[in-house]
Structure 1
Amino acid sequence: MIRIQSGPDYSERRSATVAKIYEEGGGAVDVWDEPTSSYILKSEKTASGLCDAIYFDAPIYEDRDMIAVVNLSVKGAGCYSARGLAYPHLLKKLMGAR
């Protein structure tokens, strides 16, 4: 999931971030998206590796945007990675319960 904060550069940053997500997913054929913020894709990367690949190569700003990556095939440690969360401890608690 992503959340890009509104501002004068919103469209450009969102487009670049979505393009990176599609690139990481191998192209449009292998990516499901809900146009506002959610994407499902296959990746050989860990949740942390995928989160970092998108974060460091797209214009996401941790102080105002959010990205959360969940590996649906993994439970416990390493099942998710996130940046820019308002409540990181709550996500950690919820992910620990799955």
Structure 2
Amino acid sequence: MSEPTQKYSITMPRDIAEAARARSGPSGLSAYVAAAVARQIERDNLNELIAVAEAEHGPIGDEEIRSRRDALLQAREQQRSSDPHAA
């Protein structure tokens, strides 16, 4: 069952609204905007987690970021190569 919905009135620049409407496809503008807001909330939550972690452990250096990104890419590649349904 899907989440309950409620109607809201929002204001945004016309060019952004029209671009969103053009890209929204069959799911419609409301679903497109809801997905965009959900992604922003995820980003906000991640930024809060990063701030807490950096306050406790210090800032993350560029080399550590590169190392973690490389490890993530390797894990994704391994997952793709072991998935018999991967395209």
Structure 1 length-normalised TM: 0.24
Greater per-residue strand proportion: 1
Which structure's relative contact order is higher, taking Cα pairs within 8 Å and 6+ residues apart?
1
Q: Which has the greater radius of gyration?
A: 2
Greater per-residue helix proportion: 2
